[in-house]
Structure 1
Amino acid sequence: MMFSFMPKLAAKLWLSGLALAFTVQADAGETLPLVDDGPYISIEGNKLNAQWFCQSKLRSRHVSLEQLPQQFYYCDRSTAAVVESLAVPGDAVSYQGDFKVAAISDFHGQYDLVIKLLTNNKIIDGNGDWAFGNGHFVITGDVFDRGDKVTELLWFLYHLENQAERAGGKVHLLLGNHEVMVLNGDLRYLHPKYVETAKLFDTPFEQLFAQDTVLGSWLRSKSVLVKVNDMLFAHGGFHPELAKEARSLEDINRVFKQNLVKSELAQPRQGWSKELHGGKGPIWYRGYFKGEDNGASSEEIDLLLKHFAIKHLVVGHTSQKQVETRYQGRVIAIDSSIKKGRYGEILLIDGKQKWRGTLAGEKVAL
């Protein structure tokens, strides 16, 4: 994919010399600030084409793949998008070992709050680098939408994943409903900043994450679930029918991923693949939070635990005030409303011990 054109608005800014004073008029009549966003990096043969906006003015840089690794600084940011190679770390659906585990969900563009939370809970150090040793860090989806620092979060996680690999640890970024929505062009929750980015590029926003982009290719490699020791993680959850039908984790992940982006399929989703992307699927299901009369019963939770050989189901998607448990601790809810930009928590596990990691870095027994 190539974004080699000069967007109309950027061209006007360039010609008029009013980049610092100019503001963008939204369709509804409101005034939006100038856009700092990116980089968006496409893969073009043996080169990378990086493009970004500073004060709504287009900037670009071309790099040969032979020159990797590269850091792409943009605007006045002190951090960079780091591309070491185009190889994506392998991600199985099951891991077993003697290591610490941390889990969090639903970032929704709240970069600053996420960095503070991860720093105070020693997942990263003061420079934003991996500090969790051989631990496994699980994010159960929804990096996209609502907030205005989605791009920063994506590049942060992209780099953190590589750092974790070198340290013997692991970052598991799972697909949430908002990742799948954006990849499929459902942009109803997009922050106005990204609406403006798409206008500046004069291209649909989802095309900025097409298959031939660094982040787009990376996102398509992600799983929709992961089992770590005695815990099974997903964004929304697992409908009891998956256990009753004896579906394996491998099959759930494979079929979901094979039908990820509708525009890239040879034929429309149908049958079980359509069901997995629907309300009962792992990115949308909310049955653990409706009570036994309308959602999963205690017996059905036990059925899921037995079928998948686990002790806990760990999910995001349904917002809480803090990390909480349901079904006598068998379900752990980790969407702590980070999306509001005021507070958030992280689940911390060391052996059989589990804590809520607060924003201040305090460990509260779960």
Structure 2
Amino acid sequence: METQKTPKQVIVMGDVHGQFDPFVKLLRHAGLVDDQLNWSGGHNRLVQMGDIFDRGPASRKVDDLLDRIQKQAAQTQGEVIRLVGNHELEPLLSNFVISGFSKEEAKLIHDKLTRQVLNGELKAAYAYKGILFTHAGVTRKLYKIFQMQLDDPNAANIAAMINLIFRESIKHEFYKHPIFNISISRKGADRFGGIFWEDLEDLASSYPKSPLVQVVGHTQVSRIILDKTANIIPVDVGMHRKLQYLIVDEEGAPHIIDVPEDK
């Protein structure tokens, strides 16, 4: 199980999709970067839910900014947790069809992302205060697999197992574990997808109720909602149209933060 420093706050931001300016507004509002876009978050922790690439105009700028503040945060006892979304996974798998990059640039991105996964700079899952964070969520099918493999299938243990599976899969270029499944709603072969390719509606319908509180991105929603009936908190609100993020306090309680447009 991974050791973790105790943060002052955990700030969670959803899919960026190349929206550099809105992302910077969120980071500044949360006090995580200064006017020069250097880390100013102290020992707070940022969790970015993946999908920084494609669609928007400045994917590489977003990537460069996250690279920089991740290194800076580590020097001030802060932390930047970067999760892999399906738009990072596809270049990792050398599938450049959904990417907006040229083949040459996509190859460079593939090599860079691979190094970052193996170095632990990119993760597939994260846990804090009993909350499990993955890009698209752990379905009931996946949870039952982990339940059989773990003495205690809590959020921290599941996250640690997912990250081990993910690193080893990338290292050996072997992607047969169900975490990589693509749901039929996304033109895959499986009724329910894995942690990168599962739509929110299918994730919720796979359970009567998730046994763990889950925070997910991937499926765009109109706003963040704290829905205790499903135990699933979606945070991809589309940064091109809405500025919102989530804070999880020291007690593990989530709080929705709205950012005024003029900020």
TM-score range, shorter chain: 0.7 to 0.9
Inter-partner Cα distance in structure 2 for 1:258 and 1:283: 16
Match of 2:218 in 1: 317
2:235 maps to 1:346: no
Q: Are 1:234 and 1:282, in contact at CA under 8 Å, matched by a contact in 2?
A: yes
1:295 pairs with 2:206: yes
* Cα separation, 1, equivalents of 2:144 and 2:254: 29
| Identity across the alignment (%) | 23
Higher strand share: 1
Distance 1:180 1:290 in 2: 20
Match of 1:257 in 2: 167
Aligned residue runs from structure 1 range 195-344, under 5 A: 195=102, 198=103, 203=104, 205-211=105-111, 213=112, 216-220=114-118, 221=120, 222-245=122-145, 246=147, 247=149, 248-249=157-158, 250-260=160-170, 265=173, 268-270=174-176, 273=177, 275-279=178-182, 280-286=193-199, 288-290=200-202, 294-298=205-209, 301-302=210-211, 305=212, 312-328=213-229, 330-338=231-239, 341-344=240-243
- Structure ranking higher on relative contact order (CA contacts 8 Å, 6+ apart): 2
CA distance in 2, matches of 1:334, 1:314: 7
Once the two structures are TM-superposed, the CA of residue 123 in structure 1 deviates from its matched residue by 2.0
Distance 1:318 1:112 in 2: 21
The match for 1:141 among 45, 50, 58 is: 50
Give distance in 2, aligned partners of 1:334 and 1:210.
26
State how many pairs are aligned: 239
Match of 2:154 in 1: none
RMSD of aligned Cα (Å): 2.6
- Which residue of 2 is the match for residue 360 of structure 1? 260
What letter corresponds to residue 206 of structure 2 in structure 1? G
CA shift, 1:151, in A, is 0.9
What is the DSSP-based 3-state SS (H/G/I as helix, E as strand, rest coil) of the residue aligned with 1:324? coil
- The 5 Å alignment of 1:8-23 reads none
Are residues 334 and 152 of structure 1, via their aligned partners in 2, closer, same or farther at CA, if it must alter by over 3 Å?
Answer: same
1:107 aligns with 2:107: no
Determine if contact 2:11/2:247 at 8 Å carries over to the other structure.
yes
Q: Is the 8 A contact 2:90 2:98 kept in 1?
A: no
Deviations 1:163-222 (A, max 9, x none): 11111111000111110112223333333xx33xx4xxxx3x3211243x5x65225532
Cα gap change, 1:234/1:163 in structure 2, threshold over 3 Å: closer, same or farther?
Answer: same
Instruction: Determine which structure has the larger helix proportion and give its number.
Output: 2
Unmatched 5+ stretches in structure 2: 150-156, 183-192
Give the Cα separation in 2 of the matches to 1:285 and 1:326.
18
User: Residues of 2 paired with 1:177 and 1:216: CA distance?
Assistant: 14
SS of the aligned residue for 1:348 comes to strand
C-alpha contact 1:96 1:228 (8 A) present in aligned 2: no
User: What per-residue deviation string (whole Å, max 9, x for no partner) do you get for residues 55-74 of structure 1?
Assistant: xxxxxxxxxxxxxxxxxxxx
